Chain A
Amino acid sequence: MRTSLQKKTRIYMAVGFSLLAVILVAFVISLTHLYVYDPNSTNAAAKLLPPSSDHLFGTDNLGRDVFARCMEASKYTLLVSFCGVFIAFVLGTLLGMPAGYFGGITDKFIMLISNSVMCFPGILLALVAVAVFGPSLFNVVWALGLVFAPTFARVYRTGVIGLSSKEYILHAKVLKVNPMRIMLLHIFPNLVPQLLPAVVIGLANMTLFESGMSYLGLGVQPPHASYGKMLADAQSYMTMAPWLIVFPALLLVIYVLGLYFLSEAARLSFGGERR
């Protein structure tokens, strides 16, 4: 009975934190255009103001409203992480599925490429790509997408190999079902339980990567706001205006933690087979 209680607590925590993250995201997106302050308009008369009813999260060294900037940062973070994961997912599907399905030399070749990408630290590769092609939002997105693709390819390959020995896949092969159709209609639905958590974890990791790159100045470019950039800028005012660090960092942590729990929830809810 004890294990069942633990499982329940885990589900409640998972659902709770995921809800928190979702609410946060919805709140941020819906309010961006309604909020009174523009995230990029400076105000020399309102520099480094502490949080108050006028400025909920206070203002920064240029008098910009931190709350408005947090909202804008969330917007870019979501944009980068969703687009990046989408690219990674599509690439991963294109690489991992045939590798697992056909095996042999196809598999060896594809996994050689994907493993070579995986041996470099991801952030380093993304940094090099952005350094070469110039820092822009577009470059960050595709670079991160490329870096994350092998992770998805691996999830796919393992799943496909596991399923290939199942008799229903063998039967489909006997019936001479088109390999594309086998992969998309016979195999893919059975991989959703493994893929969904991987996608959500991918979103969380992508968010952290994007923040890291923005922190180093290679991500979202000024004057647009991003969590990494805001944290980097706030460093010099840490003692004078701690709210500059506390609020963006807190939001980032809640968002990423929420995603991790969401992936846990996805994993738990896909426990059994379909009935």
Chain B
Amino acid sequence: MNIAEIRNLSMSIYSGKGVPALILDDLNFHIREGEILGLIGNSGSGKSMTAMTIAGLLPESAQVTSGSIEIDGKDVLKLSAGERRKLLGEEIGMIFQDPMTALDPLETVGKNLDEILRIRNIPKEERKSRIISMLETVGFIEPERIYRSYPHQISGGQRQRVLIAGAALLKPKLLIADEPTSSLDTVTTVSILKLLKDICIEMHMTILFISHDLSVVNNFCDRVMVMKDGKIIDSDNTEDILHNPKNAFTAELLTKAKLDPRSLGLEFSEVDPSGSPVLKVMDIATAYRDGFFGRQRAKNTIEGISFDLYPGEVMGLIGSSGCGKTTLAKTICGLLKPTGGNIDHCSGKVGVVFQDPVSCLNPMHTIRWHLNEPLVAAGIKLTKEEREKKILEAIKAVGLEEKHLSRYPGRLSGGQRQRAAIAMCLILEPSVMIADEPFSSLDASSAASILKLLSKINRERKTSILLISHNLRVVRTMCRRVLVMSRGHVVEEGMTEEVLKSPKASATKALIDAERQLS
């Protein structure tokens, strides 16, 4: 039995006077009852828009130009607004990517979930008992405590569980999960996937799972569809997609997702550990200021961290979210003052690339301005021609073109923005680059090309890189040495291969376990 039938679905987005952009191009697929269907594609391929169209949550400017969506025998596109609203929630549940913004921060978790039932006139006592039992179902040991907590008091993974509970409260037949794990670390991702699978079986739910990451579909999805440019270009059972892809694009996605150093042509610079280090971190501790007038100091977020980074070395820094990786990065580049210890930049410059390709560039200035700004800040005096030459050099080094210089960040894709951010960092020729999860919000293709770019920079310029990530695969590919952090301390360090082969600390073991379950 099929729970949903999508036939000849096309959708366009109208913007201003221009020609409408075709977002979905003649989609034909069905979702079988009780299955987990994966929808994979790069950013901009139309996978989220497919979900939005099915749920009827399209923006005003979008219009379905042809086709039909049948859910349980009803054509959703022909329903009135009221009937559609009823459908959403009772027949279709949705989970979004960002668990931070999906809950009202001023209300407790219980109140947030209560809203869903209250508008359907369910008596108060029943509402509470249903919510508590649902919180138990999604794996909370103390559902009563979670019920009373505010969203900021629980972790990202717990919030995502709460959202799943919310979506499952009305026992919808179809659950659409739009990148539910993209903002979570590997350990949490594994647990959320397991939860979704359990719910699917226990509550007889069907799941449409959307992701840009091919590595999560294994052991999770029953079937996988691959989208590109608004078309479904490949569709098969998971086994065949992963091990025996028939479509060239799927095969390419797979290779990129594996981040194999040979197939990507990665080559790194030689490291001479006997030379003098370019960055010396000695026993640093950092705390966030707290309290009135900022005098009181909270407990140290990170403590007792020491390491040396040698010229040309790529060092990994791994750990699950909240372990203090970013705090360490901020301390090294001078955004936070250490409360103890010493950081020696050894007369070199430290550049930094942040995680979020959306907010890494100032939306009100062009790329040329962005590249000029580091030169101005460093007080480097150059003639107009020299300056322009340097800017051109930097933008070409990261694989962008001259035409991109006069553009505003809003007109670049995520990968291009990340490249521009790297160019901004390169223009000062730093001896150390700190890359804080530079791939985590990019799709496999962009991530692989950024990875290639970093290896090229490392090889050609002998720039040392401190790579912060929760993705073990990236670390294994790129890094000679690795530091493992947990709860603000370095719990393990050594050559990447040795550490990952025979992990000693429990935090490392947990990370490796999680990765194994994914691939």
Residues of A within 8 A of B (CB): 1, 3-4, 103-105, 108, 166-168, 170-178, 181, 185-186, 189-190, 192, 272-275
Instruction: List CB contacts (< 8 Å) of B408-460 with chain A.
Output: 408, 410-411, 421, 424, 428
| A-side contacts of B421, CB under 8 Å | 171
Q: CA of A275 to CA of B410 in the docked complex: distance in angstroms?
A: 5
A274 close to B363 (CB less than 8 A): yes
A274 close to B289 (CB less than 8 A): no
Q: CA of A171 to CA of B410 in the docked complex: distance in angstroms?
A: 18
- Indicate the member of A104, A175, A181, A272 with the most B CB atoms within 10 Å: A175
* A274 (CB) vs chain B CBs: closest residue: B408
* A273 (CB) vs chain B CBs: closest residue: B363
What is the number of residues of chain B that contact chain A, defined by CB distance less than 8 Å?
33
What are 28 A-to-B residue pairs whose CB atoms are below 8 Å?
Answer: A103-B294, A104-B293, A104-B294, A105-B293, A108-B293, A166-B359, A167-B359, A168-B359, A171-B352, A171-B354, A171-B421, A171-B424, A172-B373, A173-B334, A174-B334, A174-B335, A175-B378, A176-B334, A176-B378, A177-B373, A178-B377, A185-B365, A189-B362, A190-B362, A190-B363, A192-B364, A272-B410, A275-B408
A189 close to B335 (CB less than 8 A): no
* B361 (CB) vs chain A CBs: closest residue: A168
* B355 (CB) vs chain A CBs: closest residue: A167
B236 interface hit (Cβ, 8 Å): no
Q: CA of A170 to CA of B334 in the docked complex: distance in angstroms?
A: 10
| A-side contacts of B411, CB under 8 Å | 275
Q: CA of A177 to CA of B428 in the docked complex: distance in angstroms?
A: 13
Q: CA of A176 to CA of B361 in the docked complex: distance in angstroms?
A: 16
| B-side contacts of A174, CB under 8 Å | 333-335, 350-352
| A-side contacts of B376, CB under 8 Å | 177, 181
| B-side contacts of A173, CB under 8 Å | 334-335
Q: CA of A173 to CA of B374 in the docked complex: distance in angstroms?
A: 10
B360 interface hit (Cβ, 8 Å): yes
| A-side contacts of B377, CB under 8 Å | 172, 175-178, 181
Q: CA of A263 to CA of B29 in the docked complex: distance in angstroms?
A: 48
* B289 (CB) vs chain A CBs: closest residue: A104
* B424 (CB) vs chain A CBs: closest residue: A171
| B-side contacts of A189, CB under 8 Å | 362, 364-365
| B-side contacts of A171, CB under 8 Å | 352, 354, 360, 421, 424
Q: CA of A190 to CA of B363 in the docked complex: distance in angstroms?
A: 8
| B-side contacts of A177, CB under 8 Å | 373, 376-377
- Indicate the member of A103, A167, A171, A274 with the most B CB atoms within 10 Å: A171
Known: A175-B377, A275-B410. A167 touches B360 (CB 8 A): yes
B60 interface hit (Cβ, 8 Å): yes
B229 interface hit (Cβ, 8 Å): no
| A-side contacts of B25, CB under 8 Å | none
B354 close to A167 (CB less than 8 A): yes
Instruction: List CB contacts (< 8 Å) of B252-309 with chain A.
Output: 289, 292-294
B239 interface hit (Cβ, 8 Å): no
* A187 (CB) vs chain B CBs: closest residue: B362
Shortest distance between the CB of B12 and any CB in chain A (Å) = 15
| B-side contacts of A172, CB under 8 Å | 373, 377
A273 close to B410 (CB less than 8 A): yes
Q: CA of A206 to CA of B88 in the docked complex: distance in angstroms?
A: 48
Binary flags per residue of B463-476, CB closer than 8 Å to A gives 1, else 0:
00000000000000
B393 interface hit (Cβ, 8 Å): no
- Indicate the member of B364, B421, B424 with the most A CB atoms within 10 Å: B364
Shortest distance between the CB of A111 and any CB in chain B (Å) = 13
With A173-B335, A174-B351 given, name 15 new contacts (CB 8 A).
A3-B60, A108-B292, A108-B293, A167-B360, A168-B362, A170-B330, A172-B377, A176-B334, A176-B377, A177-B373, A186-B362, A190-B362, A272-B410, A273-B408, A275-B408
Binary flags per residue of B303-340, CB closer than 8 Å to A gives 1, else 0:
00000000000000000000000000010011100000
| A-side contacts of B365, CB under 8 Å | 185, 189
Instruction: List CB contacts (< 8 Å) of B335-383 with chain A.
Output: 335, 350-352, 354-356, 359-365, 373-374, 376-378
| A-side contacts of B350, CB under 8 Å | 174
The 4 closest A-B pairs by CB, nearest first: A189-B364, A177-B377, A167-B354, A273-B363
| A-side contacts of B333, CB under 8 Å | 174
Q: CA of A152 to CA of B408 in the docked complex: distance in angstroms?
A: 28
B373 close to A175 (CB less than 8 A): yes
Q: CA of A117 to CA of B356 in the docked complex: distance in angstroms?
A: 40
* A178 (CB) vs chain B CBs: closest residue: B377
| A-side contacts of B334, CB under 8 Å | 173-174, 176
Q: CA of A168 to CA of B351 in the docked complex: distance in angstroms?
A: 13
Q: CA of A172 to CA of B359 in the docked complex: distance in angstroms?
A: 12
Q: CA of A177 to CA of B378 in the docked complex: distance in angstroms?
A: 8
Shortest distance between the CB of A137 and any CB in chain B (Å) = 37
* B436 (CB) vs chain A CBs: closest residue: A167
- Indicate the member of B60, B292, B411, B428 with the most A CB atoms within 10 Å: B60
Q: CA of A3 to CA of B289 in the docked complex: distance in angstroms?
A: 45
| B-side contacts of A185, CB under 8 Å | 365
| B-side contacts of A273, CB under 8 Å | 363, 408, 410
Shortest distance between the CB of A160 and any CB in chain B (Å) = 14
* A188 (CB) vs chain B CBs: closest residue: B364
Shortest distance between the CB of B381 and any CB in chain A (Å) = 16
